[in-house]
Structure 1
Amino acid sequence: MTTVNTDPITREIVNNALLSIADTMAMTVVRTARSAVVKDGMDFSTALFTADGQQVAQGLTLPAHLGSMAPVLEGIRRRFGNDINPEDIFACNDPYEGGSHLPDIFVFKPIFMDNEVIAWTCAIGHQTDIGGRVAGGVVCDNTEIYQEGLLIPPTKLYDAGKLNEAVWWILEKNVRLPEKVLGDVRALLSAVRLGERDFRALVADYGKETITAYMYEILDTTERLARASVAKLPQGEWEFTDYVDHDGIDFRPIAIKVKVRLKGDTVHMDFTGTSPQSKGSINPNLHYTRSQCFATIKCLLDAQIQSNSGFFRIFDIFAPEGSFVNPLHPAPLAARGLSGFRICHAIFGALAQAMPERIPAAWGGGEVGLSFTGYTPQRKAWVHLDLINDGPGGGGPHLDGADGLSSPVNNMSIIPVEVAEAEHPIIVQKYELVPDTEGAGKYRGGLAIRRQYQVLVDDTVFQLRSDRTEFAAWGVQGGLPGVMTESRLNPDGENRKLIGKTLMTLKKDDIFRITQASGGGYGDPFDRDPDAVLRDVIEEKMTATRVKDVYGVVINVAKRIVDHDATDSLRKAKRGQGLRPAHSHQ
């Protein structure tokens, strides 16, 4: 390769151009996708790679995909070797070939110039259905991956520009919603082709050797910046264990134990002591586990440090084979999303011991996933996936946890109620904050969120994936935990309490209500600013009774003011008696 003299100014221009290409690919997916999961929920990602498969730029999409795209490309390059040609497009969804879980279909396109690969484009999208025994593909009670849907190994979807019709037909015949699924795959295809066009335009401006040289320099620069940033963090070793309630089959807690060691410029994470892989479908594979490790540390570093393979080099991650965070084939993986959140919680819990001034309390029930599925009288399938990703946030060192904001490692959107009701036979009767549910603290956690659905047709297959029904979102520095998740069937009638992982058939007019776990609090609730407490009471986020018990703040409700003398006396008395703030939630 010709030696290229590089400079930092041009490197930043090229870097921003590559990021712009990845973001434009993402916008292409949003504008052309068919399903609400992709175009509204934003459950997809786009990226660019070097010729040898290193991720150099990711679009502004899902952190959870950080660690999965490069392993899939590695599997494709390993499987096809020299049989990679111009206008080939590859597809894969096999978690044991580098993927994430079966609903995530990865599409890669090589970019050729002068008879050699110079880069790759990638787009991944979560499909509304991927076949399997239960529509939607994210049910918790599968016991092996073969029950979860169609497995696509590294495959040529296009061979030298010609569609592999056999693969297309197999996909079409194995999913319940072929129009949406094939439409979303076409959106991914459009994205990788558009990415190739824009990349070629960049090469035309600077030349192949120059762009190639800058891509590798971007990776090396990211590594240097990331290592320098990590070296400034507190040095040492900290452990934390958080828990998944159970897998819906064996009703035993699943421990996620992590030891985080910051040594010099390297991040070491060791999951020894984590529970064995579960029978049910909530196992996260190793690549997904690594994605969560990357995402948590990224939250602590300068925002200018890029999410690419240079950043990944600073990690040394060990997850025992056969453990919950590194399961062995044919372990099921479909509902692994909630487990990814808990991995992040465990890592943040360890880091909170090292950096309490920077780490917030645990966020609440954003790991909830629901599916309502069935058939119309005309025998046409319908599937509504509601991947609930609205937090709520945990209280932080300087501010309250956000009410209804996505977790720091998610970056997805909520599917609008109007879209859900227009496309499916359901009504969303409630979507509301629940008063008096925050994790109390000097800075409180976000309020629990309640949703209530009415089913409009018989024989609706309903799947619930939730957690935090037994282990609340934890607080930091004396902050209290949040409330736990609760689900009810027909709350105004039989009022049946559901377990966190449920698969059942609903009849017409059944009502399902879920109250998500709230975020934990940060700091002693008796140190909370009384005026902040008053605002919450005025905004009906808390009641005067609760704030008196939990925060020691006395509110004159009629005048909408704080009784400061009574508050000072009450707090002094509670502290003098050595009382912890009450933790009574309605």
Structure 2
Amino acid sequence: MVDEITFEVLRHRLDAINDDAASILARLSGSQLAAEARDLNTVIMAPDGRVVCCGRYVLAQVVSMHLVVRDILAQYTDNPGIGPGDQFVTNDPYVGTLHQPDVVVVAPIIVEGRMVGWCGSTVHQPDVGGPNPGGITYDARSIFDEAVPMPPVRIVEAGRMRRDIEREYLARSRTAELNRLDLLGQVAANRSVVEQVERLCAQYGAETVGAVMDRLLERTELLLRERLRALPDGRWRHVSHVEYRPHGSAPGEPEAVYAVRLTMTKRGDDLELDFTGSDPQAPGAINAAYPALANFAIGSVLIYLCGGLPWVPGGVWPVVRILSREGTVVHAKWPAGVAMSTAATCQAIRVSVNSCVARMLETSEEFAPLVMASCQAAGGGGGTVHGLRADGTAYATMTLDEITGGGGATWLGDGADSSGYTTSPGASCANVEVNEAYLPLLYERRVELADTAGPGRHRGGAGTLHALSPYGTGTPMTMMSFGQGLQHPLAAGVCGGEFGGQSVVAVTPRTGTDDLAVAQGLPASEGWSLPMPSSTIQIGAGDVLISVSQGGGGLGDPLEREPSAVLDDVVNGLVSVAGARRDYGVVITNASEDSPVSADEAATERLRAERRRLRIGRSPAPRATGGRAGRRLSAALDLLPASSASAGTAVSGRNQRERDGVVACARCATVLCGAHENVHEHLVADDVSPAGRSPLGAVYAGGERFVVRHFYCPACAAQIDVQVCRVGDPVLAAIEVL
């Protein structure tokens, strides 16, 4: 039995050992992806592979590490065997990595013949082979058109690097020297963990260290189940969309659209994530294999539900049941291509989990402060770049400029501007000077872009604009864009908040060195009509590559944002004067040389009253007094007993209503429907084109297939929900009472 003091000492020591490993890996790496952007992570695992400690870098890389260990235990225990000093390398996404560019190295921790646990690390490599430099082939027909994955193989044997395996691994890459440095960093990081855990076992005993790992797993599971029991049961839904142009598509044919559909059900202390309604898998590239689905689903639960709880993925795993169908875009069947999954379908998985968890947390006054809107998703500005330097040597990597999008808003305040992925809290974009040192390019601009943040009572974080050109080389730079979030926004708002701004990626010819419009990528007029990016975008010496990372989602009705907060955003360049009026109904007086900008409160009040009237076609009802009644169904809806519905209330199924209660607007107390009806069908729905808020006025072919659907209370005009749908989609039952 381990006492609490010893438990706490060893818990923190294991965390520190794991964090040391991540620092060792980053310092030894020669790639800006690891050394600068921290596109990596490290873990310590129990003997069966369950993750006990994980780094705070890219959380989506670590959840499925135990699948790698379980594969090794199942396949290699007898042949070739698992011994002290061994390490195994793999980049097989069907075994347990995210995709082929994320290379995993794991090592057993064996003390005096006893398996105490495992450690491991993962790093995104600049290139792992395949037809396209950078390791991702957009128009792959199967995984055989991509970098062929390597199953787990023993690359370190009894402490010595296997030169034959190392050569075979590095021969696949166009950036072998960078990959070799990363590999050595991973081996050294694992060796450091093994040595420090061995010393820990010598001091406290291997049995005690093992007991601490077991308790971490058990305690995390118990705490999460306790949190779930404190939340009302229910069912919530979200749909996200991914665009993809399969190999062989006819010229002019629009991208195919694939839907990721999540139904999340919470009963008691059980959480079920059901993705079985998702579309069949694509011919290649964008599909997620099961380990990627598990990584992004459970990694999102860690971020969005486990605030204040230990981040122990192995303790979360038994609480969350993932349902999926093999052969779908979220659970691809071999040999489907999956190399671009992390920037496409996996982002849709994360946003869907984020949205459903937020809806669940809204039901509780105690846990509502944990609600967070979606952060940016990987967009059109993300992708691989490759070409030749002036000396003829090749380069192939990612700039990681897309990791500059906005974070999601919370009830505590606005989302963080240009903060990157919420699910990658320790990762960041590479510094401009670092990218220029590694690559033959020149940044002309990197700036937070106005009106990219998702509007709301609390706005999302702003996205960022980048403008860069080839530099010091006579050959063009080729970019393979991830091409997501161009036709419609991806970063969902919550509690009636709007989606964050969309992605932009385009190549424009340079017209003048002092032309601000070119430096910002801003055309002279609105409605910049653009084709979707091809699999290989050429950026020549006279061109500027323009990209915009997405904004984070907003929280709450934008018409409830304080005008003074909108004014501050205008002053700080995060919201334009036109955007203040369009998105928030705030009238900003133009500045003169003698007076600063200000918010016209009287004009704002009139404009907002008119906006609410236009939402529902009549003057809205006033707020109810006396606070909320019944129990929370969401931030904007209450579940009331049947006696709350008057005899004249237009609610179908009266007998059932009398048994089960009714749903009412929390703002005005108007009864909307019976408890078991789709409340969204009883709200006023308004579909608008996503082009109206597209950054820089950029409009992409195919965007006309999507709408942003707003839902308003038919009595008081409060904005209750916002969804992105395909034109003609039925109303989604996003909230269901059990």
TM-score, normalisation: structure 1: 0.94
Is 1:7 equivalent to 2:44 in the alignment?
no
* 1:134 aligned partner: 132
Give 1:377 shift. Answer: 5.0
SS of structure 2 residue aligned to 1:253: strand
Is 1:483 equivalent to 2:489 in the alignment?
no
Aligned equivalent of 2:50, options 42, 50, 54: 54
Q: Is the 8 A contact 1:131 1:137 kept in 2?
A: yes
Look up the equivalent residue of 1:122 and give its one-letter code: G
* 2:585 aligned partner: 552
Tell me: CA distance 1:565–1:505, structure 2 relative to 1, closer, same or farther (3 Å). closer
State how far apart, in whole Å, the 1-side matches of 2:562 and 2:174 are.
Answer: 54
Aligned equivalent of 1:303, options 282, 305, 308: 308
State how far apart, in whole Å, the 2-side matches of 1:405 and 1:575 are.
Answer: 33
* 2:478 aligned partner: 461
Give 1:500 shift. Answer: 4.7
SS of structure 2 residue aligned to 1:537: helix
Look up the equivalent residue of 1:451 and give its one-letter code: H
State how far apart, in whole Å, the 1-side matches of 2:568 and 2:386 are.
Answer: 42
Q: Is the 8 A contact 1:91 1:108 kept in 2?
A: yes
Give 1:21 shift. Answer: 0.9
State how far apart, in whole Å, the 1-side matches of 2:585 and 2:390 are.
Answer: 58
Give 1:150 shift. Answer: 4.5
Within 5 A, what are the aligned runs for 1:326-405? 326-338=331-343, 339-356=345-362, 357=368, 358-367=370-379, 368-376=381-389, 378-387=391-400, 388-405=402-419
Give 1:280 shift. Answer: 2.6
Tell me: CA distance 1:436–1:248, structure 2 relative to 1, closer, same or farther (3 Å). farther
Give 1:256 shift. Answer: 0.3
Tell me: CA distance 1:437–1:18, structure 2 relative to 1, closer, same or farther (3 Å). closer
* 1:254 aligned partner: 258
State how far apart, in whole Å, the 1-side matches of 2:33 and 2:162 are.
Answer: 26
Within 5 A, what are the aligned runs for 1:165-180? 165-180=163-178
Give 1:529 shift. Answer: 0.3
* 2:23 aligned partner: 27
Aligned equivalent of 2:73, options 74, 77, 97: 77
Q: Which has the greater radius of gyration? A: 2
Tell me: CA distance 1:265–1:506, structure 2 relative to 1, closer, same or farther (3 Å). same
State how far apart, in whole Å, the 1-side matches of 2:488 and 2:687 are.
Answer: 19
Give 1:270 shift. Answer: 0.7
- Cα displacement string for residues 513-548 of structure 1 (whole angstroms, at most 9, x for unaligned residues): 112333333222221101001111111222323323
State how far apart, in whole Å, the 2-side matches of 1:369 and 1:574 are.
Answer: 36
Aligned equivalent of 1:410, options 421, 424, 427: 424
TM-score, normalisation: structure 2: 0.75
Tell me: CA distance 1:501–1:362, structure 2 relative to 1, closer, same or farther (3 Å). farther
Look up the equivalent residue of 2:186 and give its one-letter code: L
Deviates more, 1:215-224 or 1:365-374: 365-374
Is 1:293 equivalent to 2:306 in the alignment?
no
Give 1:14 shift. Answer: 1.2
SS of structure 2 residue aligned to 1:95: coil
Give 1:354 shift. Answer: 3.0
State how far apart, in whole Å, the 1-side matches of 2:493 and 2:568 are.
Answer: 22
Tell me: CA distance 1:500–1:284, structure 2 relative to 1, closer, same or farther (3 Å). farther
Q: Is the 8 A contact 2:489 2:500 kept in 1?
A: yes
* 2:214 aligned partner: 216
Tell me: CA distance 1:7–1:148, structure 2 relative to 1, closer, same or farther (3 Å). same
* 2:230 aligned partner: 232
SS of structure 2 residue aligned to 1:112: strand
Q: Is the 8 A contact 1:247 1:282 kept in 2?
A: no
State how far apart, in whole Å, the 2-side matches of 1:317 and 1:41 are.
Answer: 31
Look up the equivalent residue of 1:573 and give its one-letter code: E
State how far apart, in whole Å, the 2-side matches of 1:234 and 1:471 are.
Answer: 33
- Cα displacement string for residues 273-303 of structure 1 (whole angstroms, at most 9, x for unaligned residues): 1011111311111111111221222222243
* 2:717 aligned partner: none
- Cα displacement string for residues 51-88 of structure 1 (whole angstroms, at most 9, x for unaligned residues): 23222211222210132211011111222113112222
User: Which ranges of structure 2 fall in alignment gaps of 5 or more residues?
Assistant: 250-254, 363-367, 512-517, 524-528, 617-685, 698-738
Aligned equivalent of 2:532, options 491, 499, 502: 499
Give 1:170 shift. Answer: 1.4
* 1:315 aligned partner: 320
Look up the equivalent residue of 1:293 and give its one-letter code: A
Look up the equivalent residue of 1:499 and give its one-letter code: M
State how far apart, in whole Å, the 2-side matches of 1:437 and 1:406 are.
Answer: 14
User: Which ranges of structure 1 fall in alignment gaps of 5 or more residues?
Assistant: none
Give 1:169 shift. Answer: 1.3
Give 1:159 shift. Answer: 2.0
Look up the equivalent residue of 1:337 and give its one-letter code: T
The alignment's C-alpha RMSD in Å is 2.3
Aligned equivalent of 1:41, options 32, 37, 40: 37
Give 1:127 shift. Answer: 1.0
SS of structure 1 residue aligned to 2:213: helix
Identity within the alignment, %: 27
SS of structure 2 residue aligned to 1:502: coil
* 2:440 aligned partner: 425
State how far apart, in whole Å, the 1-side matches of 2:424 and 2:263 are.
Answer: 23
Look up the equivalent residue of 2:102 and give its one-letter code: D
Give 1:467 shift. Answer: 0.9
